[in-house]
Amino acid sequence: MLVAKKGPDIDITVIMNVFEQSLGASLPQQKKQRQYCSHIKRTYGDKAVDLALYALSIQSHKYAPVVTSPTDLYYKAPKVLAFYKRQKQTNVLNLD
């Protein structure tokens, strides 16, 4: 019998799936990766999935932090957010 997951495990699974789809393979050390996903979810709340998607989308940008696992995202999230703020500032065109 299949039971739908409820609660914070849904977001942890979504974050894990984002990384697995990006890499094209399952992540090693599932338990450790799930723990880091839980820490990311606790720290960034509802924006955790968006943070993971953004971190993986900027991999080809010059000077972007390289994030290849939830462990990397946990430790490099401040760098990813700083990169986002820098990109947001440089894309504004002021014609005064």
- Tens digit of each residue's pLDDT (9 = 90 or more) over 65-95: 999 889 999 999 999 999 999 988 876 555 5
Compute the half-sphere exposure of residue 96: CA atoms within 13 Å on the CB side of its CA.
Answer: 2
Give the residue among 38, 39, 16, 18 at the shortest CA–CA distance from 28.
16
State the pTM of this model: 0.79
CA 64 to chain CA centroid, nearest Å: 14
CB-based burial, 49-79: b 16+ in 10 Å, e otherwise: bebbebbbebeeeeebbebebbbbbbebbee
Taking the CA atoms of residue 22, residue 19, residue 14 and residue 29 in that order, the dihedral angle to the nearest 10 degrees is: 140
